[in-house]
Chain A
Amino acid sequence: MSDDTLWVLVVGASLGCYLLKLAGLSVPAPWVEQPWVARVVDFVPAALLAALVAVQAATADQRLVIDGRLAGLSVAALALALRAPFIVVLVLAGGTGAVVHLLA
């Protein structure tokens, strides 16, 4: 992807996200406070973030791949379950990824 494309993406998506924020302060509340809107907004983040976790951890070039990223993700999940702080979670995941890379 060219640098120009990246800039258009960065600025364009930023503008779009800003307009979504501004819309909330500007449109009549009943438009947004529909039950189905509330449901979608409540659950879209979980679906999207989980999809990103899966794609980032277990795919490369449109293939399913098992490598240090999945190992790091497993360690991160364990750390999160034990209520580790964010920074500890990241360090453990990164450390696991590095170790697997060195051993592989």
Chain B
Amino acid sequence: MPDPARAAVLRDAIGLGAAVGLYGVAFGAAAAAAGLDAWQALVMSLLMFTGASQFALVGVLGSGGSALAAAGSALLLGTRNTVYGVRLVPLLRPRGVVRRMGTAHWVIDETTAMAVAAPETRLARVAFLATGASVYVLWNATTVVGALGSAALGETAQAALDAVVPAAFLALLWPRLRRPFAEPAVQRRVALGGAVVALALTPFVPAGVQVIAAVVAVALAGRPRPRAEAAA
């Protein structure tokens, strides 16, 4: 039975998987630059499967941070997915422990966006599963490509890779600073604050700690005040 809405959802899911695949190459390369071998990079993509946290972990490691600081920044970014899960429950209605545990693994930015944006509730589950499958396969495949590819690099190519890693982080950050993202002006102030605090602390605290300290400082500066504001 031809179903144009369903076909459009599937097409978008595959397109999104291909786009995310590019980030997978960048992640694999960043993981290699941070000292992880290809197996460790792949296991992260298979088990953690949440891009920003994976980038944060290898980013902190790459700048010489401790394992604790690396894990801490990955978990900080992973809290997003908790909120996504709450939004997804009424759409996906995962029944039973097994289905819930399976669903949880694919709760990420892309699957949530696609499920929430699905034109009908019945398509939300299709959107979630198709996007999850597409992103999962391509993210893991391209992680391996990036991890193995960067191992074959010479000195100049290594300098190029060193410049690619912060650029990839900037590309992750960029959409948050502009419309239609909620409150882009506040996001820009938060981002600037995070960067300034991290750079200012760099000479004084162990590597990696300045990143988490920057987040804590910004969160304290923006702590709840008695004023009503529309939540995004």
Contacts and interface: CB of A to CB of B under 8 A. Distances in A.
B103 A25 contact: yes
Contacts of A23: 82, 85
Contacts of A89: 167, 170-171
Nearest to B60: A52
A32 B232 CA distance: 14
A31 to B, nearest CB: 9
Interface residues of A, number: 79
Contacts of A15: 47
Contact of B19 (A25, A76, A86): A86
Interface string B3-14: 000000000000
B48 A69 contact: no
B47 A18 contact: yes
Given A13-B53, A20-B81, A51-B198, A72 B215 contact: no
A43 B219 CA distance: 8
Contact of A24 (B82, B156, B194, B222): B82
A39 to B, nearest CB: 7
Given A14-B47, A24-B88, A53 B164 contact: no
A72 B104 contact: no
Nearest to A61: B64
A13 B78 CA distance: 10
B104 A44 contact: no
Interface in A37-94: 37-59, 61-64, 68-69, 71-73, 75-77, 80, 86-87, 89-90, 92-94
**Main SS at interface, chain A:** helix
**Main SS at interface, chain B:** helix
A86 B22 contact: yes
Contacts of B81: 17, 20-21, 24
A45 B52 contact: yes
Given A22-B85, A53-B195, A97-B163, 18 more contacts: A9-B61, A18-B104, A24-B86, A26-B100, A35-B224, A36-B224, A38-B232, A43-B219, A44-B215, A47-B219, A49-B169, A50-B192, A72-B164, A73-B166, A86-B22, A93-B166, A97-B161, A98-B157
Interface of B: 19, 22-23, 26, 35-37, 40, 43-44, 47-50, 52-53, 55-57, 59-64, 67, 70-71, 73-86, 88-89, 94, 100-101, 103-105, 107, 155-157, 159-174, 176-177, 182-183, 186-188, 190-199, 202-203, 207, 210-211, 214-215, 218-219, 222-224, 229, 231-232
17 contacts: A6-B35, A9-B67, A10-B36, A16-B74, A20-B78, A20-B82, A24-B104, A32-B86, A39-B224, A47-B190, A48-B215, A50-B194, A51-B210, A53-B195, A55-B207, A97-B164, A101-B160
